[in-house]
Amino acid sequence: MKTFSITGRTAQLRSFRSAASVPWRICLPFCFIFFAPFCLSAADHVIIIAGKGGQPEFTEKYAQFARQLHDVLIAKQGFSAAQITLFAESGAKLPIASTVCLADNVRAAFERLAGTVQKNDLVAVVLFGHGTFDGDWAKFNLDGPDLRDLDFAQLLERLPAGRQVFINTTASSGPFVEKMSRQGRVVITATRSGDEQYATAFPQFFVEAFLKPDEADLDKNGRVSALEAFDFSRDRVVRFYESANRLRPEHPLLDDNGDGNGSETPAAYGSSDGQIAARTFLVASAAPQPALNPNDPLEKEKARLLAEIENLKARKNSLPETEYNRKIEDLFIRLAKLNRQIKGK
Ligand SMILES: [Ca+2]
Ligand SMILES: [Ca+2]
């Protein structure tokens, strides 16, 4: 039986360990399974919109997020360039083809998708940019007229894709949850209300979740789920403001149970939100991961361990740091051993 080495990656990982939500020195080499994407269908599609920046600094920042996500989806997530529609502000310096982020252009892209995607396909929409809330409508800023939360809800509603993920990383994005909520659709926002109006830190970390999958892949199954990307981004946002000693002006939400209410701490088990997101991946033609089999004792134990990890993370602030680190290390080592047992069955 192999022994566990928790020192091999220590030096490499130490630089960011202090900022990580889990003690990464326990990220054992054998845990990393590089998922080999495969394409059975060309219809899975991602729409990435870098909205109107208004100033060169923001225009470039949002275009950069969009480009990074575009590139990592192709490099690591199995998408082809044809499966991604990219929008950016006119004048944004992008070395890849993009469409000007006009509302009519966005509507046309959804119109085209309505004719191509099918029930089993995945459609993901990711927004980077400025958002506003006027008391009635939350809006995503575009060149020319903006698109409201309700507009995006109507555009997505027309798509027959059975797997839908909508991610709005802007300020004042919270109201999108209520408008976009539908059973089985994963909706993620950077803020919990329209009143959280400051430029958000969330998008940078959301992109990082895919650029650094070894950090975001909490259950070490080789893929970053929508839930793991959310958890990674939320935890990084929390730490970002804590380390700056600032009150946190953004509280990300995830909804996937269609009740119109987002959760700040969704979970794969024992929670109203998070169960669909835990089995949803921004991977081309990846079938949803089957739910764990409750009759299998190993999978049952895995579900219990994952729930215990979630519970411990939720109690992190009430525990001494050393106690938290000791407990979560223990849980991750047990999870790693269990994953190996499950893979060896
Ligand atoms: Ca995972
Ligand atoms: Ca909900």
Q: What is the pLDDT of residues 206-229, one digit of tens each?
A: 999 999 999 999 888 889 999 999
Does 124 reside within a domain?
yes
Stretch among 34-48, 149-163, 237-251 having the lowest mean pLDDT: 34-48
In a domain, 32, yes or no: no
Q: Are 210 and 223 in contact (CB under 8 A)?
A: no
Decide if 206 is inside a domain. Answer: yes
Last residue of a domain, one of 279, 313, 333: 279
Q: Is the pLDDT of residue 32 over 50?
A: no
Mean pLDDT over each residue of the chain, to the nearest integer: 85
Cα 148 to averaged position of ligand 1 atoms, centre (Å)? 32
Same domain, 213 and 305: no
Looking at all shown ligands, the one closest to residue 268's CA atom is 1
In the reported structure, the alpha carbon of residue 321 is separated from the centroid of ligand 2 by a whole-number distance in angstroms of 31
- Looking at 279, 309, 332, the residue that finishes a domain is 279
Ligand 2 centre distance from Cα of residue 5 (Å): 40
- Do 247 and 296 have their domain in common? no
The Cα–Cα gap between 314 and 311 comes to 5
Measured between alpha carbons, how far is 158 from 138 in angstroms, rounded to an integer?
A: 20
Confidence at residue 292, expressed as pLDDT on a 0 to 100 scale: 63
Say if residue 16's pLDDT is above 50.
Answer: no
- In angstroms, the CA 242 to CA 246 distance is 6
Mean pLDDT of 281-293: 68
> Are 269 and 318 contained in the same domain?
no
Does residue 268 belong to any structural domain of this protein? yes
> Nearest ligand, CA of residue 265?
2
- Has residue 233 got a pLDDT over 70? yes
pLDDT of residue 129: 98
CATH assignment at residue 175: 3.40.50.1460
- Are residue 216 and residue 308 in the same domain, yes or no? no
In this predicted structure, the answer to whether residue 17 has a pLDDT above a threshold of 90 is no
Q: Which of 237, 253, 279 corresponds to the end of one domain? A: 279
What is the CA(301)–ligand 2 centre distance, in A? Answer: 26
Which residues hold their Cβ within 5 A of ligand 2, which is an ion? Answer: 255, 257, 259, 261, 273
Report the SS3 class of residue 242. Answer: helix
214 CA distance to ligand 1 middle (Å): 9
Q: pLDDT tens digits for 179-206?
A: 999 998 999 999 999 999 999 999 999 9
Same domain, 274 and 298: no
Domain count across the chain: 2
Dist. CA 255 → ligand 2 center (Å): 4
Q: Are residues 339 and 269 in the same domain?
A: no
Is residue 160 domain-shared with residue 208, that is, in the same domain? yes
- The per-residue b/e assignment along 224-258, b for 16 or more CB within 10 angstroms, e otherwise, is bbbbbbbbbbbbbbbbbeeeeeeeebbbbbbbbbe
Residue 345 CB burial class (10 angstroms; 0-12, 13-18, ≥19): exposed
Is the residue at 40 inside a domain?
no
pLDDT of residue 285: 74
When pLDDT is averaged across residues 138-161 and rounded to a whole number, the result is 97
Ligand 2 centroid, distance to 201 Cα (angstroms):
23
Residue 337 falls inside a structural domain: yes
Rounded to the nearest angstrom, the distance between the alpha carbon of 90 and the centre of ligand 2 is 36
Q: Which ligand is nearest to the CA of 185?
A: 2
What is the pLDDT at residue 290? Answer: 53
Separation of CA 171 and ligand 2 centre (Å): 20
Give residue 90 CA to ligand 1 midpoint distance, Å.
36
Check whether residue 82 and residue 230 sit in a common domain: yes
27 inside domain: no
Looking at the chain, the whole-number percentage of residues with pLDDT higher than 70 is: 84
Among all bound ligands, the one having the nearest atom to the CA of 279 is 1
Joined tokens for residue 168: 């709005």
Residues 106 and 195 in one domain: yes
Give mean pLDDT, residues 225-234.
97
- pLDDT band of residue 88 (cuts 50, 70, 90) is very high
Confidence of residue 42 (pLDDT cuts 50, 70, 90): low
pLDDT at 72: 96
Structural domain contains residue 147: yes
One domain for residues 169 and 298? no
3-state SS class at 18: coil
Lay out the sheet containing 84-88: strands in order across. Answer: 99-100, 84-88, 45-50, 122-128, 163-168, 186-189, 253-255
pLDDT over threshold 70, residue 153: yes
Q: The domain containing residue 301 runs over which residues? A: 292-345
Query: In this predicted structure, which of 32-41, 288-297, 311-320 has the lowest mean pLDDT?
Result: 32-41
Distance 60 CA to ligand 2 centre (A): 34
225 plus 337 within the same structural domain: no
Q: Which position has the higher pLDDT, 148 or 184?
A: 148
Q: What is the mean pLDDT of residues 21-35?
A: 36
